[in-house]
């Protein structure tokens, strides 16, 4: 093995999303002399960013108060009207605004591409002197002799599938830092390791997730209402006792962002979140916007849904979790970028203060306490029982109970109850308890197949590289995932990565089409035996989302 080169810096940030870039910008605002490095696994900043998105500007206003006048693309489309529909199979009814707490109104918010906002934040960071390195995933963590995080190692490049070194082999670089901030997003591989090593989840509930599947459409200009925001619940998930909902956002340039979120605690192993999304698009209320239009992009990602009770301990010797690595999504608002950015800013302030005081590789207790006394905590505590109420009691009763709980907390009379979570994979039933779901074939105009959809994510991985989807025990996969649960990996994956072949011949083989992977990490979350682990592939691989 070639000897690794090393690079010293003050702070290394793993992940170039909104949280990581907000932290980088804040660090340089406080002390321009700090050497700050941002590592991003995507081919460019924004390449792996996917969200609805409707953005609350509160964190942007704090970080860069003049953002609206500085060419930020998110400023193009303020929200103009807001609808919440409850869908039946062919009809709908609009939930009256008076029934919903005021914070669900989206007044003062903006809708647009979170990827483009992230690209703009990357430009602001680089202008301040932040060293931003896209295409360089962090693959390992460095520790000092005391067990504190001392930096990270970037992924080796040019490794063949059999583990041998190709002619273009380059070993990863060691980035040595006084502090390391993990901003990997939901279910990051290094974040999982930090949680386990430092037992960060000892005093919180398990994190739970939803799978968000999204498309971007150019629609008929006569149907486009810039700033219109629509959320739906009910059908089609109501038919399989699953919960989640859809969104349709009228954004800039005559486009709509449409998407569907399925909570991953569903019981029926025959549920396919991708196909539920395709069904949803055929609902008359949604289809009318799409007819005559053209799909231009597709993608998927996991979303933290655990809320306040699932926020782990945030700091440990030499490092901290920020953004979706920690889990600050407000599920009823379907928003998390503002809380993610604020967490990054608070971490930056704690890091800058520690370094100014001569410290390094210490535990940033000030950061953890700052988050728990910030508006992040105030906001998430108001909605902490919404997700578990719907999960436990179902769409209708659960929504009513969640609404009552949110109203009471808004009025300052919340009950002293914090509902609990159980990991999503534990909810999956045996296949023999359910019937397979016969999903309609795609029509190629409104609904599509998975492989065609993946082509609209512009995903690319070098084929001759080690598979980044690790099956720990292939015998267990065949005996249990296929034999007991009916092979749910072939349905929960929104990119068609997993296949069971030769089953009828009695010689089943588990095929992993890793080149299709859009890095949503659903397999890492939903595999019923926790037998699949997602790790970082070679740098620059994965989706290349445009305008998502």
Angstrom CA distances, 519 to 411, 461, 473, stand at 40, 11, 21
Residue 47 sits in the same domain as residue 139: yes
Helix H or strand E segment including 365: helix 365-372
Indicate if 62 and 142 belong to the same structural domain.
yes
What is the average pLDDT across 128-147?
Answer: 97
pLDDT digits (tens, 9 = 90+) for 448-501: 999 999 999 999 998 899 999 999 999 999 999 999 999 999 999 999 999 999
Q: What angle do CA 412, 415, 416 make, to 5 degrees?
A: 110
Query: Taking a C-beta distance cutoff of 8 angstroms, is the pair 311, 327 a contact?
Result: yes
Domain count, the chain: 2
Chain centroid to Cα 59, Å, comes to 18
Higher pLDDT, 387 or 257: 257
Q: What is the pLDDT of residue 406?
A: 87
Same domain, 330 and 398: no
Tell me the percentage of the chain whose pLDDT exceeds 70: 100
* Domain end marker among 338, 356, 382: 382
d(CA 412, CA 430): 43
- Same domain? 370 vs 390: no
CA 334, CA 435: separation in Å to the nearest integer? 31
CB contact set of 233 (below 8 Å; sequence gap of 6+): 84, 85, 86, 87, 243, 244, 245, 246, 395, 399
- Going by C-alpha positions, the residue among 274, 238, 241, 237 that lies closest to residue 259 is 274
Residue 11: inside a domain:
yes
Among 153, 155, 150, 149, smallest CA distance to 200 is for: 149
Per-residue confidence band for 115, with pLDDT thresholds at 50, 70 and 90? very high
What mean pLDDT is reported for the chain?
96
Query: Hey, which residues does 40 pair with through a beta bridge?
Result: 134
Same domain, 378 and 390: no
For the chain, how many residues are written?
Answer: 548
What is the C-alpha to C-alpha distance for residues 58 and 470, in angstroms, rounded to an integer? 40
Rounded Cα gap, residues 40 and 17, in angstroms: 8
Which range of residues forms the domain containing residue 184?
6-67+115-206+308-382
Residues 390 and 357 in one domain: no
Domain co-membership, 321 together with 412: no
Q: What is the pLDDT of residue 400?
A: 87
| Cβ pair 374, 350 in contact under 8 A | no
Please give the pLDDT value at position 104: 85
- What are 383's strand-pairing partners? none
Instruction: Tell me the pLDDT tens digit for each residue of 214-242.
Output: 999 999 999 999 999 999 999 999 999 99
pLDDT of residue 398: 87
Q: Which residues contact 540 (CB under 8 A, 6 or more apart)?
A: 41, 42, 43, 134, 135
pLDDT at 517: 97
Residue 525, Ramachandran bin (φ over 0: left; ψ between -120 and 50: alpha; else beta): alpha
Same domain, 395 and 352: no
Q: What per-residue confidence (pLDDT) applies to 463? A: 84
* Residue 12, in any domain of the structure: yes
User: Across the chain, which distance is largest between two alpha carbons, in Å?
Assistant: 68
At which of 326, 355, 382 does a domain end? 382
Q: Is the pLDDT of residue 516 over 90?
A: yes
Residue 210 pLDDT > 80: yes
Query: What angle, rounded to 10 degrees, do the helices at 365-372 and 337-356 form?
Result: 140
313, 412: one domain: no
- For 184, phi then psi, to 5°, come to -75, -10
Q: Which two tokens stand for residue 510?
A: 């588990």
Is 510 within a domain?
A: no
Per-residue burial over 221-235, b if 16 or more Cβ lie within 10 Å, else e, is eeebebbbbbbbbbb
> What is the rounded average pLDDT of the residues 101-122?
95
Q: Is residue 410 part of a domain?
A: yes
Spatial separation of the C-alpha atoms in residues 258 and 245, rounded to whole Å: 11
How would you list the strands of the sheet with 92-94, edge to edge?
A: 92-94, 81-87, 228-234, 244-250, 255-263, 209-218, 294-304
pLDDT tens digits for range 44-85: 999 999 998 999 999 999 999 999 999 999 999 999 999 999
Residue 219 lies in a domain: no
Whichever domain contains 59, its CATH number is: 3.50.50.60
User: What are the tens digits of pLDDT across the range 359-413?
Assistant: 999 999 999 999 999 999 999 999 999 899 988 888 788 888 888 888 888 888 8
Same domain, 350 and 389: no
Contact call for residues 261 and 210 (beta carbons, < 8 A): yes
pLDDT at res. 1:
40
Residue in 277, 258, 265 with CA at minimum distance from that of residue 303: 265
Residues 143 and 188 in one domain: yes
Q: pLDDT by residue (tens digit) across 173-207?
A: 999 999 999 999 999 999 999 999 999 999 999 99
For Cα atoms 370, 373, 374, give the angle at the middle one, nearest 5 degrees: 80
Q: Does 162 map to a domain?
A: yes
Tokens 């303020």 belong to which residue? 78
Tell whether 396 is covered by a domain: yes
Residue with tokens 């974040």: 191
In a domain, 227, yes or no: no
Write out pLDDT tens, residues 342-371.
Answer: 999 999 999 999 999 999 999 999 999 999
Given a cut of 50, whether residue 12 has pLDDT beyond it is: yes
Q: In terms of DSSP bridges, do strands 174-182 and 6-14 run parallel, antiparallel, or are they unpaired? A: parallel
Q: Which of 358, 393, 418 represents a domain boundary (last residue)?
A: 418
Q: What is the CA radius of gyration of the chain?
A: 22
What band does 98 get if pLDDT is binned at 50, 70 and 90?
A: confident
Residue 315 shares a structural domain with residue 411: no
């Amino acid at each position: 093995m070639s000897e690794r080169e090393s690079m010293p810096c003050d702070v290394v940030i793993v992940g170039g999303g909104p949280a990581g870039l907000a932290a980088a910008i804040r660090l340089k605002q406080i002390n321009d002399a700090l050497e700050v490095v941002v590592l991003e696994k995507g081919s460019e900043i924004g390449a792996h960013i996917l969200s609805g998105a409707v953005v609350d500007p509160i964190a942007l206003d704090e970080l860069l108060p003049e953002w609206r006048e500085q060419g930020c693309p998110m400023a193009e489309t303020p929200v103009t009207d807001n609808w919440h529909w409850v869908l039946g199979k062919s009809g709908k009814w609009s939930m009256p605004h008076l029934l919903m707490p005021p914070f669900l109104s989206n007044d003062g918010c903006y809708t647009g591409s979170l990827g483009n906002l992230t690209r703009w934040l990357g430009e602001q960071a680089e202008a301040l002197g932040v060293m931003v390195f896209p295409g360089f995933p962090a693959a390992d963590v460095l520790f000092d002799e005391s067990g504190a995080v001392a930096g990270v190692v970037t992924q080796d490049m040019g490794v063949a599938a059999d583990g041998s070194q190709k002619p273009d082999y380059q070993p990863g670089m060691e980035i040595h830092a006084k502090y390391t901030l993990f901003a990997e997003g939901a279910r990051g591989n290094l974040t999982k390791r930090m949680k386990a090593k430092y037992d960060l989840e000892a005093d919180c509930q398990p994190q739970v997730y939803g799978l968000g599947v999204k498309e971007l459409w150019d629609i008929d200009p006569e149907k486009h209402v810039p700033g219109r925001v629509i959320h739906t619940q009910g059908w089609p998930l109501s038919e399989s006792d699953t919960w989640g909902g859809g969104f349709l956002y009228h954004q800039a340039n005559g486009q709509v962002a449409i998407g569907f979120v399925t909570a991953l605690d569903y019981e029926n192993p025959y549920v396919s979140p991708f196909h539920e999304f395709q069904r949803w698009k055929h609902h008359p209320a949604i289809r009318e916007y799409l007819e005559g239009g053209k799909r231009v992009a597709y993608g998927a990602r996991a979303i933290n849904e655990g809320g306040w009770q699932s926020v782990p301990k945030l700091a440990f010797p030499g490092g901290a979790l920020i953004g979706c690595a920690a889990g600050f999504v407000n599920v009823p608002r379907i928003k998390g970028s503002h809380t993610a950015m604020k967490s990054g800013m608070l971490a930056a302030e704690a890091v800058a203060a520690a370094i100014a005081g001569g410290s390094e590789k210490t535990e940033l207790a000030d950061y953890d306490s700052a988050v728990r006394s910030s508006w992040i905590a105030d906001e998430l505590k108001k909605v902490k029982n919404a997700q578990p109420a719907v999960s436990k009691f179902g769409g209708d009763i659960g929504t009513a109970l969640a609404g009552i709980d949110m109203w009471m907390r808004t009025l300052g009379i919340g009950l002293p109850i914090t509902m609990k979570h159980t990991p999503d994979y534990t909810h999956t039933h045996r296949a023999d308890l359910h019937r397979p779901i016969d999903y309609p074939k795609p029509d190629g105009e409104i609904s599509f197949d998975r492989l065609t959809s993946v082509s609209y994510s512009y995903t690319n991985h070098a084929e001759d590289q080690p598979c980044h989807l690790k099956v720990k025990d292939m015998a267990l996969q065949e005996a249990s995932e296929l034999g007991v649960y009916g092979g749910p990996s072939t349905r929960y994956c929104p990119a068609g990565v997993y296949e069971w072949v030769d089953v009828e011949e009695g010689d089943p083989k588990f095929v992993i089409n890793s080149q299709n992977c859009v890095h949503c990490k659903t397999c890492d979350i939903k595999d019923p035996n926790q037998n699949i682990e997602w790790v970082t592939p070679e740098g620059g691989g994965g989706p290349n989302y445009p305008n998502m």
